[in-house]
Structure 1
Amino acid sequence: MVAPRPADLLVAEVRLTPVLIADPPLLNTQGVHQPYTPRLIIEVVTEGGATGLGETYGDTEYLALARPLANALVGRSVTDLNGLATLAERTGADSLVAAGAHGGNGGAQGVDAAGLRGVRTAGKLRRSVRSGFEVALLDAWGHAAGLPVHALLGGAVRDRVPYSAYLFYRWQRHPEGPGETDDWGAALDPAGIVAQARRFADRHGFTSFKLKGGVFAPEEETAAIRALAEEFPGRPLRLDPNGAWTVPTALQVADALADVLEYLEDPVSGTGAMAEVAARTPIPLATNMCVTTFEEIPEAVARDAVRIVLSDHHYWGGLHATRELAALCRTFGLGLAMHSNTHLGISLAAMTHVAATVPNLDHACDTHYPWQTEDVLAERPVFRDGHLDVGDAPGLGVTLDRDRLAALHQRWLADDGTHRDRDDAAAMRRAHPDWTAPAVPRW
């Protein structure tokens, strides 16, 4: 293959397509997933005709940051990934100032869309937007050069990436109104969770299981983990109540499940409370709430608050930032796993490529993807024995289905604004009008 000329690698066009994707009624401490979740699909087209795909959050604030960044990318090389961070900082600051928001790394904008990521700041918003563009640039570069994204990141150290089943308490269907149906049924007790896990294991070959907690009283969720341990003896189990517990409650649960948990994720809110729990239990504590930026690492390390950091390239600013995080985890002796949001196949492919390049991927990655019945890809990624294969096709190795993209974009266009910003508490109020997102800790 002839190497691309520098001019061929210049960005000629950037297309932004917001979509709404069907989401099941999955429960968490803040409420329930809405019937539809917003995502943003990014296409970068080069002068040489290569097209790269990226994906990130599609909520209104993210779109406001994405549009000026897309315009600013035209004429720049897809290889200028270091310059992308500066460009995103500049265009993002201008957009936030124009919108009347704080443009710095602080400037709290409230909690994240589901209240499950800690405080939202302007810096976090910019990094999440930047991540989608970085993936699209890498994908375009890979197509132009005939190389997979993992090669552009330094090369794969594994040919398969392990994933974990993500278990949720859930309703059978969304309350009356818009929403798609599926054949999963409700899961509101230990038997329902075990049946859900069995189906994931049989269908996808998953051998580790994570339960989203913070929904029911801690003793009920402890019983669900115990039931999983009986059904899958010796398999890695995780529990994530999203900071819904007090320190005493977290210690009680940790004591009750010390013999079966692989790790306990964010049992309490904040680095200080995590440090209190960590000092009094042998169970490793993991987080994707109190450590989601590089600035938050020093305190967590100094206080020995966490043993495992769940990376997420959307949170941290892209695939290169994920590799930088992995290096810091190696330096400080922290374990590394991978967090998941409600994502489509483009993000899943990006997760797989970067996970393939990280030597210290210590735990199977989270993924919501098996819950998603819709995608914008021509072919869905297939889990085999709980793993995704790491291919050598150019770029991410995925192909966009334009008809599917157009249909999901049309849903976004037809929406009255109800679903263009994720709000799990608002979704819960459709079934329980008096619901307000509870303050944490709940128990």
Structure 2
Amino acid sequence: MTEGTYSTGTRIRELIVTPIAFRDPPLLNSSGVHEPLALRCVLQLVLEDGTVGLGESPGGSARLERLQTAAKEVVGRDVFDTTALLAAVDDALLPSVPSSHERGWTTSAIEVACLDAQGKLTGRPVSDLLGGRVRDAVPFAGYLFHKWAEHPALDGRPAAGDSWGEALDPAGIVVQARLMHERYGFESFKLKGGVFPPEQEIAAIEALREAFPDAPLRLDPNTAWTVETSVQVAERLHGVLEYLEDPTASIPGMAGVARSTGLPLATNMCVIAWEHLRPAVEQNAVQVLLTDHHYWGGLRRTRELAAVCEAFGIGLSMHSNSHLGISLAAMTHVAAAVPNLHHSCDTHYPWNAADDIVRPGVLEMRDGAVRVPTGPGLGVELDHAALDRLHRLYLESDIRDRDDAGYMRRVDPGFEARLPRW
């Protein structure tokens, strides 16, 4: 692109990166349990004309440092010149961050902010900038977790409960699913497994099937099982699950399970970077890929990934981690622009929506779906008071990196974060 192609008003004046902390319930997983606070970074990409593009990234000290490095690289660049801009950020990170996956966490958040700004400048929603939406609403699954009734009292902090209550057995999981259905209208469900012995988690899925006879169901034990255990569970739940997600670790491990079962396997753990695609396809390790624009370098790269999956006959869904409304808006726009979205997307949003940093009224989970925002850019507006409050909470807290295993050991000193466990 030649110098001066765009107005100087489209050049970036600064990138403001704000680390925040927000409340998270005690959700159990194979690595331990969620701490009382989850971490994110909120990006404000400020242009010379005052336009602000919003982005959101997973938090943690390393990712915050990388975003701060990137902030120095983007100043003075044109917001429409995203290819060169993101390449410059990638080059700046490469000496200290050799993993393309890890660099993708940074470039994706900046690309979202650029697209939000571009949409505001042109008066078009981000889905239009991605080629146009093929659906007006994006379906999501109710994300179920085994969980404690409350965070325990530690370090002088009182115990903290929530409106979801305890879910430590199949009956509790069914109650949680009914609440998800009543509050948000979810028609499909995903259970985070790897917490209890496989028999108990099979029983939970069977209880969900009885309670919701027609609902698509999926189970994700986060590599807590050996190949042999994974095959046994897949055989038990064949015809019950729409897919089994990351039952065991590695592409060869998943391929071993796939050879022994007709149940589709999904991943967001062993195929998380472009270099993983070829061996996964060659070994037929996964039949469903859970995209995540935070992992793969942005929304446009996610569209490219969807095309690759279509070429090789791999189904598509979407991964989620604890997130707020900027990420949900970005997820919704890219999912709306992907023709081959075969399954409802994951989202943690119901667990964290009470602490959102975007103003209400645009992102509403109804009938298990989010309507695609039609306003310029992402279509959401930053709530500066909420951002300030959550930034203060971050500064006042002692949490700087996620540590599910460490938090679990504070409650259960004998806990071992050993995988596979069964």
TM-score scaled by length of structure 2? 0.96
User: In the alignment, is residue 387 of structure 1 matched against residue 364 of structure 2?
Assistant: no
Measured after TM superposition, the shift of residue 259 of structure 1 is 1.8
State how many pairs are aligned: 413
Residue 180 of structure 1: CA displacement?
A: 4.6
Do 1:313 and 1:319's aligned partners in 2 also have CA atoms closer than 8 Å? yes
* Matches of 2:90 and 2:351, distance apart in 1: 34
Unaligned runs of 5+ in 2: none
Give the aligned residue type for 1:191. A
- What is the match of residue 166 of structure 1? 143
**CA drift at 1:433:** 2.2
- 1:4-403 aligned within 5 A: 6-94=7-95, 96=96, 103-105=97-99, 123-177=100-154, 178=157, 180-372=160-352, 373-379=354-360, 381-403=363-385
Instruction: Write the letter of the residue equivalent to 2:257.
Output: V
The answer to whether the Cα contact below 8 Å between 2:329 and 2:373 also exists between their aligned partners in 1 is no
Q: Partners of 1:17 and 1:139 in 2: how far apart?
A: 17
Moved more, 253-262 or 218-227: 253-262
In structure 2, distance between residues paired with 1:51 and 1:257: 48
Partners in 2 of 1:37 and 1:356 — Cα distance? 27
- Distance, in Å, in 2 between the alignment partners of 1:234 and 1:314 is 32
1:117 aligned residue:
none
SS of match in other structure, 2:260: coil
SS at match of 2:89: helix
Alpha-carbon distance in 2 for matches of 1:244, 1:272 = 15
Q: Is the 8 A contact 1:57 1:129 kept in 2?
A: no
Asked whether the equivalents of residues 287 and 309 of structure 1 are also in contact (C-alpha less than 8 Å), the reply is yes
Residue by residue, what CA displacement relative to the aligned partner does 1:162-210 show, whole Å, maximum 9, x if unpaired? 0000000000111113475311111000000000000101111100000
Cα distance, 1:392 vs. partner? 1.6
Following superposition, the deviation at residue 273 of structure 1 comes to: 1.1
Check conservation: 1:29, 1:242, Cα contact below 8 A.
Answer: yes
| CA offsets 1:250-272 (integer angstroms, 9 cap, x no match) | 11111111121000001111111
TM-score (norm 1): 0.91
1:409 aligns to what SS in structure 2? helix
Asked if 2 retains the 8 angstrom alpha-carbon contact of 1:22 and 1:180, the reply is no
- For residues 338 and 242 of structure 2, the distance between their equivalents in structure 1, rounded to whole angstroms, comes to 20
Once superposed, what is the RMSD of the aligned Cα atoms? 1.3
Deviation at 1:84, TM superposition (A): 2.9
Letter in 1 for 2:271: V
CA contact (8 A) 2:193 2:220 kept: yes
Give the Å deviation of 1:219: 0.3
Q: Report matched runs for 1:364-443 at 5 Å.
A: 364-372=344-352, 373-379=354-360, 381-416=363-398, 419-438=399-418, 440-443=419-422
Structure 1 residues 89 and 5, CA gap change in structure 2 (3 angstroms): closer
CA distance in 1, matches of 2:260, 2:6: 59
Unaligned runs of 5+ in 1: 97-102, 106-122
Displacement of 1:437 in angstroms is: 1.3
The CA deviation string for residues 267-292 of structure 1, in whole angstroms up to 9 with x for no partner, is 11111111111011111000001100
Q: Secondary structure at the match of 1:279?
A: helix
Asked if the contact 2:27–2:34 (Cα under 8 Å) also holds between the matched residues in 1, the reply is: yes
- Structure 1 stretch displaced more, 425-434 or 146-155: 425-434
Contact 2:10 2:47 (C-alpha < 8 Å) held by counterparts? yes
Measured after TM superposition, the shift of residue 85 of structure 1 is 2.9
Question: 2: CA distance between counterparts of 1:180 and 1:314?
Answer: 30
SS at match of 1:343: coil
In percent, how many aligned pairs have the same letter? 53
User: C-alpha displacement at 1:91, in angstroms?
Assistant: 1.8
